Amino acid sequence: MKINNTLTIIKKEFTRFFSDRSMVFTTVIMPGLLIYIIYSLMGDNMSESNFTVEATEPTTVYVENLPPSILPLFDSIPMNIVTHDIVSEDIMKQLGDKENNIAYMIFPENFDSLVANYVPASETLAPNIKIFYNSVNDGSSMTYHMLDGALNAYEDSYCNRFDVNRYDDADSPSFDQSDESEVISNVLSQLIPMLLLMLLFSGCMAVGPASIAGEKERGTIATLLVTPMKRSQLALGKIISLSVFATLSGLSSFIGIILSLPKMFHADELNMDTNLYSASEYILLLLVLLSTVLVLISVISNLSAIAKDVKQASTINIPVSLMMIVVGMMPMIMGGATENPTLYLIPFYNSVMAMTAVMAHEATVLTLVLTICSNLVYAGLGAWILTKLFDSEKVMFGK
């Protein structure tokens, strides 16, 4: 009888959820789709702004005291050099306007001889080249960086005695001996757990308050409470079904992230391997996710049961969302997962750390078992509290 009633509640919640196309779309399909679109667009945008040079008019660079020896350095830089009739004040005024694609370079007089006679060990300052530019103007900024790069390279070559890490030919091995996938895993392990936790929280918030506080608000929960069903069966049925919906929402977001990552990192352009994790690591991640959803949904369900309506439930849950952000940032702050097993007993923190460890290929059996088991205990405790709340006339019928 116990299982029957819990199953009846689960079936009803499933029917309610999956029969409502708009709810399925907004909770399950839309998060993943939006993440995929947004991250892909972000990747494209980053690609355009960081890796490609927009075709703009060549920058006009006013140069004072241009030494002829330097001129060949600038051959490869698309710019128009002006060396005559320079009025410093006028140019500086023009530079203040972001619309003007210009730069202003001042060499010391007799630059070549100054450089030739300069003794690095002496206490006198080295000859200084000044380049004024406007960083808001793309052309001006880009030209500055190219000039800076060319001049620094020239400076290096001037007293070049040896090289460090020079690639002599295309077949030279990489000097960075770290595994490329490890580098990516390390980045992902600090970034993804926070995203996942936030997405799971959003998934839980999409279904939790509406199912508990919403039923209270509409008066439909009282209709359930006058049936012979035990309060614990109602609590269990609600928590299990809501966890499934929240997990689906979280999975949708997760798939959205995984599919959009290659686009975000331009994996195809950089010949990057995106198969970073094994099937067993994905399963471990899923187990941690499921146990986390159970804890999260039990917390949100309890807070929603206390609330009078959905609006109040959303407000009460705001501190939980802030907590999720702080806890989610822990791997970034700490630079990875903790190795202290006792810390894997702290709810939410343990989930983030366990996810970080799995994604950095550093998970241990002990920490994973501690995380999953403690989460199940917390979820059980949450279900017990929810049972008590369903049994409390003050909470259920208080005005």
Partner 1 sequence: MEEILRVEGLCKTFTLSKKQQKIERTKSKQKVAVDNLTFTANRGEIFGLLGPNGAGKTTTLRMLATLIKPDKGDAWVDGCSIVAQPEKVRAKIGFLTSELKLEDFFTPNYLFDFFSNLHQVDPSVMAERKKSMFERFGIDKFAEVKVKDLSTGMKQKVSLVISLVHNPDIIIFDEPTNGLDVLTARTVTDYLQELRAEGKTIILSTHIFSLVEKLCDRVGIIINGKLTHCDTLQAICDGLSLEDRFFEIYKENEDLTI
Please report, as ranges, the residues that interact with partner 1 according to CB under 8 A: 1, 4-5, 8, 12, 15-16, 19-20, 215, 218-220, 222-230, 393, 396-397, 399
Compute the least distance from the CB of residue 199 to partner 1, in Å.
26
> Tokens standing for 69?
């020896």
Compute the least distance from the CB of residue 222 to partner 1, in Å.
5
Compute the distance between CA of residue 56 and CA of residue 143 in angstroms, rounded to an integer: 11
- For partner 1, the closer of residues 241 and 291 by Cβ is 241
**Exposure string (b/e) for 58-78, b if CB count within 10 Å is 16 or more?**
ebbbbbeebbeebeeebeebe
- For partner 1, the closer of residues 24 and 396 by Cβ is 396
- For partner 1, the closer of residues 7 and 345 by Cβ is 7
- For partner 1, the closer of residues 215 and 250 by Cβ is 215
Cβ 43 vs Cβ 263: under 8 Å: yes
Compute the distance between CA of residue 185 and CA of residue 356 in angstroms, rounded to an integer: 9
Compute the least distance from the CB of residue 18 to partner 1, in Å.
12
- For partner 1, the closer of residues 16 and 263 by Cβ is 16
The single residue listed with the structure tokens 């309890």 is 302
- Cα–Cα distances (Å) from 211 to 221, 223, 244, 292, in that order, read 9, 14, 13, 19
Compute the least distance from the CB of residue 251 to partner 1, in Å.
25
- For partner 1, the closer of residues 166 and 399 by Cβ is 399
> Tokens standing for 325?
């952000």
Compute the distance between CA of residue 364 and CA of residue 348 in angstroms, rounded to an integer: 18
Compute the least distance from the CB of residue 388 to partner 1, in Å.
13
Compute the least distance from the CB of residue 220 to partner 1, in Å.
5
- For partner 1, the closer of residues 173 and 219 by Cβ is 219
Q: How many CB atoms lie within 10 A of CB 187?
A: 13
Compute the least distance from the CB of residue 226 to partner 1, in Å.
5
Compute the distance between CA of residue 109 and CA of residue 46 in angstroms, rounded to an integer: 41
Query: With the CA atoms of 72, 74, 80 and 82 taken in that order, what torsion angle do they form, in degrees rounded to the nearest 10?
Result: -70
Compute the least distance from the CB of residue 398 to partner 1, in Å.
9
Compute the least distance from the CB of residue 384 to partner 1, in Å.
17
- For partner 1, the closer of residues 173 and 228 by Cβ is 228
Compute the distance between CA of residue 204 and CA of residue 220 in angstroms, rounded to an integer: 21
**What is the phi-psi region of residue 297: left when phi exceeds 0, alpha when psi lies from -120 to 50, beta otherwise?**
alpha
Compute the least distance from the CB of residue 228 to partner 1, in Å.
4
- For partner 1, the closer of residues 1 and 333 by Cβ is 1
Compute the least distance from the CB of residue 395 to partner 1, in Å.
12
Cβ 288 vs Cβ 337: under 8 Å: no
- For partner 1, the closer of residues 230 and 263 by Cβ is 230
Q: How many residues does the chain have?
A: 399
- For partner 1, the closer of residues 2 and 311 by Cβ is 2
Half-sphere exposure of 318 (CA within 13 A, CB side): 6
